[in-house]
Amino acid sequence: MVNHTRRLNLTFRALADPTRRDLLSSLMRGEASVSRLAAPHRMSLPAVMKHLRVLRRAGLVRQRKVGRLQRCALRAAPLRDAEQWIARYRLFWEAQLDSLDHFLTGSHAPASAQARQPKEIVQWPKSKRRPRSR
């Protein structure tokens, strides 16, 4: 349990930075050297290496030496637990977005959604309004 909690901490922390998310996206295309991964980013190589270290600690990247190059590869397995943790909230976000939908289209929210998220439509801050993509 402690390990599972720690793994989730490390995974979510690793994902909280846009550069680290970009690095993971790049690795979806396959293994890459550190310098190639760093190329699109407007930051120093040591800064990128620091981000890679956070990803390695979270078990999301494996780094190995091939000749004189450091090659990185994606390790997606820890993301499964993160996805499972978040998915428990699906019913709640569906109810919330349904209510917003009904509000924007002028119809009444379904009873189930109203029961789950009381008064949500009135309280929803304007800046957070967004169309629901379906």
**CA–CA gap between residue 10 and residue 65 (Å, rounded):** 24
Task: Single out the residue of 49, 59, 103, 114 in contact with a copy of itself (rule: CB under 8 A).
Answer: 59
Alpha helices in the chain (DSSP H): 2-15, 18-27, 34-38, 45-57, 77-87, 90-104, 111-116, 120-123
Query: Which region among 35-43, 44-52, 59-67, 106-114 touches a copy of itself (by CB under 8 A)?
Result: 59-67
CA atoms lying within 13 Å on the CB side of residue 102: 17
Task: Single out the residue of 39, 40, 45, 85 in contact with a copy of itself (rule: CB under 8 A).
Answer: 85
Positions in the binding site for a copy of itself (CB under 8 A): 5, 8-9, 12-13, 15-18, 21, 24, 28, 31, 59, 62, 64, 73-80, 82-83, 85-90, 92-93, 96-97, 100, 117-118, 120, 123, 128
